[in-house]
A and B are shown apart, each in its own frame.
Chain A
């Protein structure tokens, strides 16, 4: 394993042992007696950060037994002027490092944001759930002195080109079915840990974040005439596990890290506040071309069912060479749990499943292992409603608002999609140009080198002994 920091921590000075985190942990990684501080089994932990989201054991300012706030902020990698309360469950921060790099004029700083950031970032500044702010987000990043405001959504479109082509190939040949999505790093880590014998069922595609990183330091470097060694690549993610993913040894291109640092939605908000940027009154600004231009399909990756919907929009047209009759595929949209559907694509009846919440995947894996799983394509997202509910997203003060928040964030993603001129990945002009000028064709030689990966057996310790 290439990472040292387990990323998710429980502060034993603050933990009250209520074990609400254990109730939401999908993999039973939280160990301890009720009423006593809990610990995390880092091997089992998939770093999804749901424990960070649920924890209410905050540090009261007058708790004399705890280390001073300044010490804790430093330990947690947060900025020293953060004013929000500290909780027992937390994820390691990287924002101090990002702040230092942004102050270095010699580095060419490139940033990408996941689809789910633009529908939740505004909550950190007191705006209502579901406020959509791609333009303010881009403006804020520019004021933070990033040299290029690129976007994960662009790479989500690339993912559809690669993963869609892979799916078509595998369905036609009948090989290694069902095929699972591989965008969610917590799901990938779980598959590697709990079902290493089934890893060939995962799509070989890297996640959109890693694809973006690989393209920034190759295609992007060429476009800007910058040496890849001068590029510093930052990703803003709704996800704590993306910190783990970016540190995976194999996530490098020609000797460079694809993504140098990952920060969460909350960390980005803390830096915007630290720099005194008035987020609410920022103008709407565009992303930079070409690696920041995306289709509606790219933007819905942030909700459960979004990858599936985007893949069907493109897969349908690539297979049938006809326009898909309806772009809005309500049958894959939904909430926590498993949804299944059959989609008629020309002659093919494509059987698909969408798994939202990692605890629901075991039943599917068991079917795959015994060879009775009826689906062709299965999307898995570890968090309850996809990335909008990720462990790095704005944390709620009231549990009673959680459903409402997730619903509003998802609605905003779908609204964003429906307002885009281009709503299919393969029709994004910058994707067409990327393939024409640089990648060649999906699953081609360059794609294989940059955009595809292999997975690692991380079997449970106790099963190995």
Chain B
């Protein structure tokens, strides 16, 4: 893959966001085929773990998500090379992730969260590691890093209207957009030239 072109990324406009969390829910919905999540809320048997997060402050709400950094500090921080660029998207390979939190600490946007891993609607247990729960030793849950992958593995049978991530598609107020920096920048450049 020729990586001369900068990677696209999703970004939100604070002035538009109404804080409904539809983006978080959609993000979760399209990333959980392996947990049996289909169209209905009733098919959900695992906690909602989104890969973008609506931040609320006194004056605004805004979803925060990965910028798909060109010089990705998360990937630099990962000791096991579980974060790789794939077709312009920074992707965490969950099976390699050791849950060290390095990527989450390195990310200047707080776009990476660590949470339990789930498969087939159940927590994925550690192979050996155990912990005490209610006076019994049980296998600990595997913990992995989650981040936006621009819905690269999304099955477009779910009513997707275009080739945009689910969060962008469901936002009821158009606060989220998929930015292609090359076209965006050249548009700004043209606009600037017209003003000169």
Contacts and interface: CB of A to CB of B under 8 A. Distances in A.
Nearest to A129: B39
A429 to B, nearest CB: 36
A329 interface: no
Nearest to B166: A398
Given A126-B38, A398-B29, A56 B20 contact: yes
A362 interface: no
Contact of B41 (A18, A34, A396, A404): A396
Interface in B48-64: 48, 54, 56, 61
Contacts of A397: 25-26, 28-29, 37, 39-41, 44
Interface in A391-431: 394-401, 404-405
A83 B160 contact: no
B44 A20 contact: no
B98 to A, nearest CB: 22
A260 to B, nearest CB: 24
A18 B24 CA distance: 14
A58 B170 contact: no
Contacts of A19: 18
B128 to A, nearest CB: 26
Interface string A88-127: 0000000000000000000000000000000000011111
Contacts of A322: none
A129 B157 CA distance: 12
A395 B42 contact: yes
Given A56-B20, A56-B21, A266 B48 contact: no
Contacts of A266: 41-42
Contacts of A57: 20-21
B161 interface: yes
A17 interface: yes
A398 B40 contact: no
A18 B61 CA distance: 10
B106 interface: no
21 contacts: A18-B21, A20-B18, A35-B19, A35-B61, A60-B47, A61-B47, A61-B48, A83-B44, A84-B41, A85-B48, A126-B36, A394-B42, A395-B40, A396-B41, A397-B28, A398-B29, A398-B170, A399-B26, A401-B158, A401-B159, A405-B39
Given A19-B18, A35-B61, A58-B48, 17 more contacts: A16-B54, A16-B56, A56-B22, A61-B48, A83-B45, A84-B43, A87-B41, A123-B39, A126-B38, A394-B40, A394-B41, A394-B42, A397-B25, A398-B26, A400-B170, A401-B39, A404-B159
